[in-house]
Structure 1
Amino acid sequence: MVNGANLEPMWKDSFDGLMDKYGSTINHYHRVDLHRTLREMAQESSGAAKGKPATIRLATKVREVDVGDGVIGFDDGTSVRKDLVVIADGIKSRFVSYITGQDEPLVRNGRSVYRCLVPFNEINKEARLREIFQRQAPGFWVPFTPTSATYVVTYPCHSNSVLNVALIHPSLPHQISSPDSWHEPATIENALEAVKAHHTTIHELIAKTPDVRAHTLFRREPLSRLTRGKAVLVGDAAHILQPTHAQGGTMAVEEGVVLEILFSGLSDRRQVLRRLEAYNELLSKRVQLTQYLSDSLPGRGDIARRKAESLALETGDDLPADDSMQFSEPWRDFFYRRDVMQDAEDAVKGMI
């Protein structure tokens, strides 16, 4: 973390030793690379894959879901019946109320994000930029302005060929994107306006991107439950997490592995409802707590933090101090020490 105005270091932590402590390292992925890899894993018929390869039907819009009977109805009038329905249609999901039984509105949270990718071959042409990123160990380099909570989050991805840049800032008057727009076109000038108080080196960095996209951040109150009948919500459909602690993808992976363990080898469809109830018991409170923490800006003592503290008393979780810096060891311990795989395996053993 560096001061956005002068780029002087403000806080630094090391990601050394993560493998020994958590059994994994922190990895940065280009979204396209991650999506492609997940698709290939789902469709492969050999190697590490288990079970029948998935059939992916593109451009097949779902009109409705009968969560009790597991019937999925499509816009073309056809339908299919499944033993298990996983609803993973993102922030703008139209099916959240099918699970909770009530309206779950999206609300703008007053913050927006400009996103861009900057090729490293362009960065390396400028001495000041080259000096910053050639000396950086793998991880995040984040200029920020505490008074306005404006962050310029950067990290390398796509085999270190590009630098991912996300400008998280209080929404500007012209930023009125809808939940349907993830990648609203924007201009470099728009992005520079959001970081006008930052050092000119940040302006030079942003100016080197070939494309800028924008979206407004939304939130939804944590859901009372994640499953109903034969259906389960996962990912952004289940929880809208702010970028505060970068846990959106992490939670989705946790949810996927819990589903895998609960349903691996299951042949008795009569067990589906019981397994989904176990899923809800394992993850519902964890998702709610993580969502409150993502809504809270560290050091502000805001209402989201107070809600998280109240819920933590119920769950028995020890929260990091409110002023602990994002990605610091207390937060890493909180998010990564829990072994959800072991929790799921224990739940399955309890059903045998």
Structure 2
Amino acid sequence: MSSNTTHDPPLKVSIVGAGIGGLSAAIALRRSGHHVQIFEAADAIEEVGAAIVVPLNAQYVLKSFGYSRENLNSVNFYGWRLGNLEGNTGKWSSRYLLVHRSDLHTELHRLATGPGEGPPATIHVSSKVIECDTEQSIITLSDGRGISSDVIVGADGVASFVRTSVLGHAVKSEPSGLTIYRGLIEMHKLEGRADVKWIQEGISGARMIIRRDGGGAWRMLFVYPCRGGTLLNVLQVVRSDHAYSTDWKGDEARANVLETFSDFHPMFQPVLEGLDERVMKWQLRKVPLLPTWVRGHAVLLGDAAHGTLPTMAQGSAMAIEDAGALGVLLCAGTRRSDVPARLAGYESLRRERGNFVNQESLDQAIVPEKFGEFFRCEEMQQRIIEFDAIKAAHEYFEQHFAVN
């Protein structure tokens, strides 16, 4: 597939943000032959968090990137247990992978910057973007440097700076009413303990307990193994009016977490007690539906475009899908003059799906009758999980941009 001619020079691409979305975009665009630079405000390249679910739709894109599943150190997600009830993922059994977030991030970093197809991407840390000219495609860093490129990709998350430049005004993320706590426990510390046998008994996958507190409030404990089964990811979610505090990120004393979940069944208490003295804490934020994701030579992807809550296990997957589609539409031979139309095509291709997951993931957290609907509705699961973003992008390209 070619857009114009192989004699056209590769594009220069500036990606803002070195998270999962930014690295995925770097992989897709370097594989199209473009020269990619990533600008990260933090002082080091690292992914904060614990474990995530990598569904089949994300795996389709990762496969096109040439990823190594072995490098993810994944655990198969065959199903779940809710209290004493057990269910499986049906026709999607083993199509979810339970992965430590940093293992996925490390593999994406390798694919973006290591040997492979196309020029390796370059990552610049301590490089905060303070200005973004979407028409001239120039970003300005806090040290005063101006970086000129053909494409600017805003992969800078729910608090995106690039989003303000694309829209012409600030659209801030808002509290969702959910606070999340995450921690990891080394699995060997739980071996031989009869009171935690429920973690590994039965089907391979997640264990959860949900307590509804009335008025739409609820609390959930959600645990699953990762890193080849050597670590236990422990996730606690609180949905209540108290989750609207101004503290966005930070940590919490384990004692406070224990108090919050003290009325949960005694079988769950040893897991909570096994957490470190300080537990990661952050407020889950929602991003309103945006009027556009594109302006001139700048484009948004992932949470910057359609912030997604974890209720459908699709946050990282949507960013990976966006990146894969962008790489297809900005294929080898794309000229600078082609970029605005290609980015508009990307938005046209991705907007409905991204906005649907944005809104559904929020509704299934805050609308009582929709809680857990994704995992009850086979039609919705099929629509989301079986979608091949790379195939869809190729079909869109052939219809709108291919040269006969």
TM-score bracket, normalised by the shorter chain, equals 0.7 to 0.9
Output the amino acid matched with 1:140.
A
- Partner in structure 1 of residue 258 of structure 2: 192
Q: What residue number does 1:162 align with? A: 231
In the TM superposition, residue 172 of structure 1 has moved relative to its aligned partner by 7.5
Instruction: Decide whether the 8 Å contact of 1:324 with 1:330 is kept in 2.
Output: no
The residue that corresponds to 1:331 in the other structure is: 380
Instruction: Tell me the equivalent position of 1:201.
Output: 267
Q: Single out whichever of 118-127 and 276-285 deviates more from structure 2.
A: 118-127
- In structure 1, the residue matched to 2:42 is none
The one of 95, 101, 125 equivalent to 1:25 is: 95
The answer for unaligned runs of 5 or more in structure 1 is 306-321
CA distance in 2, matches of 1:175, 1:119: 32
Q: Which moved more, 1:324-333 or 1:224-233?
A: 324-333
Out of 128, 136, 146, the residue aligned to residue 79 of structure 1 is 146
Q: Give distance in 1, aligned partners of 2:219 and 2:270.
A: 17
1:40, CA displacement in angstroms? 0.8
Match of 1:159, SS state, is helix
* Distance in 1 separating the partners of 2:205 and 2:122: 36
Give the drift of 1:301.
6.3
Change (3 A) 1:27 1:323: closer
For 1:221-240, what aligned pairs fall within 5 Å after superposition?
Answer: 221-240=288-307
**2:391 aligned to which of 325, 342, 346:** 342
Greater CA drift, 203-212 or 74-83: 203-212
Q: 2:87 aligned with 1:13, yes or no?
A: yes
Q: 1:61 to 1:142 in 2, by over 3 A?
A: same
1:122 correspondence with 2:205: no
- Whether 2:316 is the aligned partner of 1:249: answer yes
Quote the Cα distance in structure 1 between the aligned partners of 2:359 and 2:398. Answer: 31
The number of aligned residues is 318
SS at match of 1:13: strand
* Aligned counterparts, 1:1-352, within 5 A: 7-9=83-85, 12-15=86-89, 17-18=91-92, 25-45=95-115, 49-129=116-196, 131-147=197-213, 148-171=217-240, 173=242, 176-179=245-248, 181=249, 184-210=250-276, 211-297=278-364, 300=367, 324=373, 326=375, 329-350=378-399, 351-352=401-402
Deviations 1:260-281 (A, max 9, x none): 1112213422211111011000
Native 8 Å contact 1:118 1:206 kept in 2: no
Question: Are the aligned partners of 2:195 and 2:270 in contact in 1 as well (CA < 8 Å)?
Answer: no
Distance 1:162 1:257, change over 3 A: same
TM-score by length of 2: 0.73
* Aligned AA (1:269): R
Q: Distance in 2 between matches of 1:259 and 1:110?
A: 32
Q: Which has the higher contact order (CA 8 A, sep 6+)?
A: 2
RMSD: 2.4
- Which is worse superposed, 79-88 or 331-340? 331-340
Q: CA deviation at 1:289?
A: 1.2
User: Which range moved further: 66-75 or 143-152?
Assistant: 143-152
Unaligned runs of 5+ in 2: 1-79
Q: 1:190 to 1:342 in 2, by over 3 A?
A: same
> Displacement of 1:335 after TM fit?
1.0
Cα distance in 2 for partners of 1:164, 1:186 equals: 17
For 2:225, what is the secondary structure of its paired residue? strand
What TM-score results when the alignment is normalised by the length of structure 1? 0.83
User: Percent of counterpart pairs with the same letter?
Assistant: 25
1:287-341 deviation digits (Å, cap 9, x = unpaired): 1111110111279467xx7xxxxxxxxxxxxxxxx87353763332121233322
Task: Answer whether contact 1:2 1:144 (CA < 8 A) is retained.
Answer: no
Query: Which structure shows the higher strand fraction?
Result: 2
